[in-house]
Structure 1
Amino acid sequence: MRAETIVPKEWDRSEGAKRDIVAGGIVIAAILLFVGTGSNVMQSVVRALAGAGGGTDRVLAATLILNIALILFGWRRYDDLNREIRERTLAEKRARFLADTDPLTGYLNRRALLAAGPSLVAAAAAERRHVALLLLDLDHFKRVNDIHGHVAGDHVLQVAAERITAILPPNATKARLGGDEFVAMIAFEPAARHQIDALAAALVAALEEPVEYEGQRIRIGSSLGIALATGQNVTMEMLVRQADIAMYHGKEKGRHRHIWFEPGMEMAMQARNQIETGIRNGMPRGEFVPHFEPQVDIASGRLVGFEMLMRWDSPEHGMIPPERFIPIAEESGLIGELSLRVIRAAMEIAKGWDPSIVLAVNISPQQLKDPWFSQKLTKLLAETGFPAGQLEVEITESSLFENLALVRSIVTSLKNQGVSLALDDFGTGYSSLSHLRALPFDRIKIDKSFVAAMRGSADAQAIVVAIVRLGESLGMPITAEGVEDSATATELTRLGCAKGQGWHYGRAMSAVDTAEMLAERGLLRTPLKARNAPDGESAPLRKSA
């Protein structure tokens, strides 16, 4: 026998109202009947008790009892209705609270903020006051979820909300827009803008303090944008957008700060968005191409390799340097795909080089957060047929503090494939001897800022000497970046530096120019005229702009 699903009938408010009217009518009728018959029945009862009558009329007695029953029924129904109204009111309040409130922090959610904001702005305008909308974004919050898990991320958000509440005035309107973005709206006197600055600075400082979680100290930080409402001719959407633009402008200036929105920032944001769109559209079209900066043996002047540098060959704007688009690619999460595409193109090109020439590629810190990065790079080596022994991966030392265990796993895997590893920009980050011992680096690269300053600065020269000696003691050859003249090259030779790169040895060149240089020195596997452009996703060989 097939069971039938019984679907509860939805509550019909009109039908319920009809029943309430009927119940009320029954109660009123019962009361009238009680008044009409009760007096007669009671008189009969009194006479019967006094022996002056023959007892009560049975019909009248039954009518009285029925009236009493109806009155009790009506009273119970009245009590039920009151209880139902109370429960329904509480449920509606609860539903409204849940609809307007972020469950994690207890703040308003985005919908409730957009609904409540206009009345706050209008009330402030009526009193000739201004309203500041502060939009606060936690820096590197995604890293917290990736490394420590989402439970730890929720804990960080709750602690952040508690710190924000402790600093803001009680009358501030607080909201969580979603993710790691918080908003506060504060009305203030036009002459008291400095008070908003002080509050914003206090918020940024409070969120720089580490968060304790299960014995770990999780470090975050924040960037804060402020939009100003001076009257009623502003929408909440506009205020949030302006604060968001100011916040991102602060991130570009180094994070951990607050900044007020200015009209020129919107144009800068539009330009940034255009670059991001250009990156997305340009990747499949092969607009991002590798250029190659020579690396030489300082003592002999012999060419030993090239560092791959990325360039954007834009049809609209020409050759765009990496400092214009790399930071945006990192912020937007595009750097991983972009880097692997250009590395693939470089490997296809470098297959034609002499086996003695090394291809060095710089890896973004964002890529070292990807636990599958070593597998992706190994796959590129297999698909292109490029020898792992000719590849050197350069890792900036600032990457080591992101997640040392994950970085160790990645570099160990690459090392097992035969790839060489170099610690890039040494001296500018936070690496220590323990990191050099824990990770299997083959080479140390001195940051070009020290090399460029060593001739005019005794301190810079002392740092270079110390790094060279450190490399000698650890058995790691040293590469110096930023060698721009023969005097610097001579001094580095005297100090015992192994490799150098910089304008003194040649600037970064296109694939065609690089091939011509190698052909002149007899360092191409095949003649230049016989070489074809790389296929697949790799870009064609192009002359330098």
Structure 2
Amino acid sequence: MALDLEENAENDAGKGGDIVTGAISVAAILMFVGTGSSVLSTTLQHYFEGGAPADRTLVIALLLNVALILFGWRRHHALSMEVRVRTAAEERAQMLASRDPLTGFLNRRSLAEEGAAMFVRAQRRRKAMALLMLDLDHFKTINDMHGHAVGDALLRAVAQEIAAAMPPISLTARLGGDEFACGFLFDPSQPGTVERIAEKLVSRMSQPFDVEGLRLHISCSLGVARSDFECASIDALMRSADIAMYQAKKSGRNRFAWFDQSMERELQTRNELESGLRTAIPRQEIVPYFEQQIDLASGKLHGFEVLARWEHPVRGLISPELFIPIAEETGMIADLSLSIMRQSFMAARDWDPSLSISINISPWQLRDAWLAQKIIKVLTETGFPANRLEVEITESSLFDNLALAQSIVGSLKNQGVRLALDDFGTGYSSLAHLRALPFDRIKIDKSFVMSLNENADSAAIVNAIARLGESLNLPVTAEGVEDAAIEERLRAIGCAKAQGWLYGRPLSVTGVRRLLAERRLLVAQQGAPVAVETSPEIPSQRLAG
């Protein structure tokens, strides 16, 4: 407020100065007209006709008038220059406020303003407004590898391609980072017009870009929304296009997707789950369930794989397939996994020492350089022996940073923790991974095991993995065993362990205690009797981290 008052005061002072200058100039001109003719005629008569000289006072007045006129002209010129400079600065400030300086496209605020006007025009002309939200895939990788200068040059090239694909009358905007938006009107009965433009953009973005002497490869995820489908305002239209864009990204990238109401409902459900998950973890609503692992040679219980289950106080049971991906995307998977570990280790403190626990580690967790220290801390605090813990890592989790994974695994192995390669055969370069990390066990993915007796390829793969494990002295565990025929086949092949619903549904902490009590596999602490509660068991799914 003080700055506004100061600026207004300066403007008022400038205007006052301009008025005074103008008044002086006008007065000087009038005086010049009044005295100039008299002085000039008297002076001419003095020199040519010998008349009396001009009055000195009038001559001085004339010279003063000339000086005042020159002053007024210079002041006018200076003010004109000031006005031009100020106008140019205001125009530039307005442009910077409404335009993206890198591409020249509209910015987010200007898109909302001009988009609102286009939205109204669409309604008046019985047209529909299409809004396309475009997000570049893998742009951050290019920025990180080649620097921001190359990234900026790529964004300018992308902007040129977007502008070239648009109709003559359209809006183009850069919303920030690598996200763009485009808007235009179309005939509501011909949505193919919009789809052709979307397909053209997706196709062009997947082609290589030659930038700064480099050939760069990207793609885009594009969301499309139309104003005549339950969009009451430009804000609603932008939100719908944004939701569709994320759906395209979720569906595999390098594609476009039309918005529909199911996407919004899915997003709302996801947001509710994310919000609930933030409180569910500290409240320990996410609890461990345990899937039995059986020694195929003896038929004895060897240990358990820990699974996760959300006991929601209102919605009841929520599938891990719904909340584990959210936990990974939001970074909550670390706290969730450590909470599951802590609960599992506490529950297993009075189990028979021969029983082990297997915990899955998410690819997201393997990006944490302190992961090993966090796991060791939980082991220390709960008193659970490290040599009874087996950490399972999937092949896909090793792609991001193998060196970091080797460091984490090395720290855990030094404490006696064992390592299993999970879902073997579903990733890439499996043999290279077996050589790069000191695995103690191989786990065959259930997709091969469940079709073992029906699919010759699956049978060949399982046989090959079993032979490989035998050659490398790595025991093999088969997942997804659901009938006795498959179990017998696995035993004949040479698999060491098996797990699946053939041996029972996943058990809660209470269910495990009841099972172990029946088999006399509980060790009473300090002579205290073992308390076993009863509760119904509900199937769960593996913790993906």
Fold-level match, TM-score > 0.5? yes
Question: Which of residues 151, 154, 157 in structure 2 aligns to 1:159?
Answer: 154
- State the alpha-carbon separation in 1 of the partners of residues 497 and 487 from structure 2: 10
Question: Which of residues 251, 257, 260 in structure 1 aligns to 2:258?
Answer: 260
Q: Which amino acid aligns with 2:278?
A: R
Deviation at 1:333, TM superposition (A): 3.0
Deviation at 1:293, TM superposition (A): 0.6
Whether the 8 Å CA contact 2:153–2:211 is kept in 1: the answer is no
- State the alpha-carbon separation in 1 of the partners of residues 368 and 211 from structure 2: 23
Q: Which amino acid aligns with 1:316?
A: V
What TM-score, normalized to structure 1?
0.87
Matched, 1:544 2:537: yes
In the other structure, the counterpart of 1:227 is: 225
Matched, 1:472 2:470: yes
Matched, 1:400 2:398: yes
- State the alpha-carbon separation in 2 of the partners of residues 500 and 233 from structure 1: 54
Question: Which of residues 21, 24, 38 in structure 1 aligns to 2:22?
Answer: 24
Q: Which runs of structure 2 are paired with 1:59-138 in the superposition (5 Å)?
A: 59-138=57-136
Task: Please list every run of 5 or more consecutive structure 1 residues that lacks an aligned counterpart in the other structure.
Answer: 1-7, 534-539
In the other structure, the counterpart of 1:482 is: 480
Whether the 8 Å CA contact 1:141–1:153 is kept in 2: the answer is no
Between 1:127-136 and 1:339-348, the stretch displaced more is 127-136
1:272-310 deviation digits (Å, cap 9, x = unpaired) = 222222212222222110001111222222222211000
Whether the 8 Å CA contact 2:366–2:405 is kept in 1: the answer is yes
What secondary structure, in the 3-state scheme, does the structure 2 residue paired with 1:36 have? helix
In the other structure, the counterpart of 1:271 is: 269
Deviation at 1:209, TM superposition (A): 6.1
Whether the 8 Å CA contact 1:444–1:476 is kept in 2: the answer is yes
In the other structure, the counterpart of 1:300 is: 298
Whether the 8 Å CA contact 1:173–1:186 is kept in 2: the answer is yes
- State the alpha-carbon separation in 2 of the partners of residues 216 and 493 from structure 1: 55
- State the alpha-carbon separation in 1 of the partners of residues 515 and 318 from structure 2: 23
Q: Which amino acid aligns with 1:237?
A: D
- State the alpha-carbon separation in 2 of the partners of residues 495 and 420 from structure 1: 24
What secondary structure, in the 3-state scheme, does the structure 2 residue paired with 1:453 have? coil
Whether the 8 Å CA contact 1:374–1:413 is kept in 2: the answer is yes
Whether the 8 Å CA contact 1:296–1:500 is kept in 2: the answer is yes
In the other structure, the counterpart of 2:53 is: 55
Deviation at 1:216, TM superposition (A): 10
Q: Which runs of structure 2 are paired with 1:283-432 in the superposition (5 Å)?
A: 283-432=281-430
- State the alpha-carbon separation in 2 of the partners of residues 39 and 59 from structure 1: 14
Deviation at 1:69, TM superposition (A): 1.2
* Change in 2 beyond 3 A, CA 1:313/1:16: same
Please give the root-mean-square deviation of Cα atoms over the aligned residues, in Å.
3.2
What secondary structure, in the 3-state scheme, does the structure 1 residue paired with 2:502 have? coil
- State the alpha-carbon separation in 2 of the partners of residues 436 and 212 from structure 1: 39
Whether the 8 Å CA contact 1:104–1:154 is kept in 2: the answer is no
Deviation at 1:54, TM superposition (A): 4.1
- State the alpha-carbon separation in 1 of the partners of residues 111 and 148 from structure 2: 23
1:476-508 deviation digits (Å, cap 9, x = unpaired) = 222111111121112112222222111122221
Q: Which amino acid aligns with 2:537?
A: S
Whether the 8 Å CA contact 2:395–2:430 is kept in 1: the answer is no
Deviation at 1:9, TM superposition (A): 6.6
Deviation at 1:207, TM superposition (A): 4.5
In the other structure, the counterpart of 1:4 is: none
* Change in 2 beyond 3 A, CA 1:279/1:199: same
- State the alpha-carbon separation in 2 of the partners of residues 92 and 77 from structure 1: 22
- State the alpha-carbon separation in 2 of the partners of residues 304 and 245 from structure 1: 47
What secondary structure, in the 3-state scheme, does the structure 2 residue paired with 1:131 have? strand
Q: Which runs of structure 2 are paired with 1:109-258 in the superposition (5 Å)?
A: 109-138=107-136, 148=144, 152=147, 156=151, 159-160=154-155, 162-167=157-162, 168-169=165-166, 171-208=169-206, 221-230=219-228, 234-258=232-256
Q: Which amino acid aligns with 2:157?
A: E
Q: Which amino acid aligns with 1:342?
A: I
Question: Which of residues 516, 522, 525 in structure 1 aligns to 2:523?
Answer: 525
Whether the 8 Å CA contact 1:246–1:265 is kept in 2: the answer is yes
* Change in 2 beyond 3 A, CA 1:361/1:231: closer
Q: Which amino acid aligns with 1:381?
A: L
* Change in 2 beyond 3 A, CA 1:93/1:190: same
- State the alpha-carbon separation in 1 of the partners of residues 127 and 302 from structure 2: 68
1:190-213 deviation digits (Å, cap 9, x = unpaired) = 344223223323434454568899
Whether the 8 Å CA contact 1:157–1:180 is kept in 2: the answer is no
Deviation at 1:25, TM superposition (A): 1.0
- State the alpha-carbon separation in 1 of the partners of residues 216 and 421 from structure 2: 26
- State the alpha-carbon separation in 1 of the partners of residues 524 and 98 from structure 2: 69
* Change in 2 beyond 3 A, CA 1:194/1:316: same
Report the number of matched residues.
529
1:116-154 deviation digits (Å, cap 9, x = unpaired) = 111122234444332111123345777888xx38x8478
What TM-score, normalized to structure 2?
0.87
